[in-house]
Amino acid sequence: MKVILRNPRREIEIEGRRRVHALLVELGLPRESHLVIRNGTLVPGDEELDKDDVIEIRPVISGGF
């Protein structure tokens, strides 16, 4: 599957199927600070992602006060 990461924006290719939780763990990205989006829709942690999916993992932490 194609995974789009942000800050900075980049794309990586992941082989095979994965559950959302497993993918985040594999990439070392905490669930509390990321959302997983497929076709403009949020995907919950137990959803299985298909090898042909294009997904965005969006960080949600912002800084600056």
Partner 1 sequence: MKCRTCRGPAIIELPRHNANFCAEHFLQMCRRQVEKAIHDHDMIQKTDRVLVAVSGGKDSLAVWDMLVELGYQADGLYIALGIGEYSEESREYTERFASERNLKLTVVSLRDDYGYDIPTATKVTGRVPCSACGMSKRHLFDKAAVDGGYDVVVTGHNLDDEAAVLFGNALRWDVEYLARQLPVLPSRHGFPKKVKPLIRLTEREMAAWCVIRGIDYIVEECPMAEGNRHIGYKEALNLLEEKSPGTKSSYYLGFLDRMVPVLATIAATGADSVTPCIQCGAPTGGEEGSVCAFCRLVERSAAHEPVSVELIRKKSRSQKRVQAEASKK
Taking CB under 8 A as the rule, does residue 62 contact partner 1?
A: yes
Triad 48, 16, 20: Cα angle to 5°: 30
Amino acid at 44: P
**Min CB(40)–partner 1 separation in Å:** 7
State which residue, 17 or 19, has the beta carbon closest to partner 1: 19
Taking CB under 8 A as the rule, does residue 46 contact partner 1?
A: yes
Q: What is the contact surface with partner 1 in residues (CB under 8 A)?
A: 6-9, 30-35, 37, 40-47, 58-65
